[in-house]
Amino acid sequence: MPTLFSYGTLQQKEVQIANFGRELLGKKDMLQGYIVGEIEITDERVLRESGKAIHPILRFTGNVADEVSGTVFEITDVELAQADDYEVDDYVRTLVKLQSGQECWIYAAATDAGNDGGR
């Protein structure tokens, strides 16, 4: 079963229900080598579901002193595809290792996709 690290709107109950039809249960973890920036969302669906025009976005730094706290959710393959559909083109899904040692999917800035994604 895939795991997804959320640091932003996918932690919101209303976003989870809109995208997955259920509230997700998760556990706290930490992602190293990234910082959180902001982007403006213009996609009408995402604006409606999140209720926010400004969304957080992970930016790769490679510096292990940079840490982002978030929640790890176990989801199905279908739900992972639904999460892909929710995220706008500014984000890219990347597999990383969290501070706990667990491998997990994240959505990070697509402009940082040319690096190794922290792996």
Residue 118 in domain: no
- Structurally, the chain folds into a number of domains equal to 1
Q: What pLDDT was estimated at residue 19?
A: 93
Determine, yes or no, domain membership for 116: no
How many alpha carbons lie under 13 Å from residue 95 in its C-beta half-sphere?
5
Mean pLDDT by 10 residues, the chain (119 residues): 93 94 96 94 88 91 96 96 92 96 96 51
**Among residues 22, 13, 82, 15, which one has the least CA distance to residue 46?**
15
* CATH code, domain with 54: 3.10.490.10
Provide the residue range defining the domain that includes 51: 3-111
In a domain, residue 66? The reply is yes
The residue among 55, 61, 6, 56 whose CA lies nearest residue 34 is 61
Contact 18, 49 (CB under 8 A): yes
Q: What is the pLDDT of residue 113?
A: 54
Q: How far is 26 from 39, CA to CA, in rounded Å?
A: 25
Instruction: Specify the pLDDT at position 119.
Output: 34
CA angle 106, 28, 41 (to 5 degrees): 40
In contact, 76 and 47? CB cutoff 8 Å: no
Report if residue 117 sits inside a domain. no
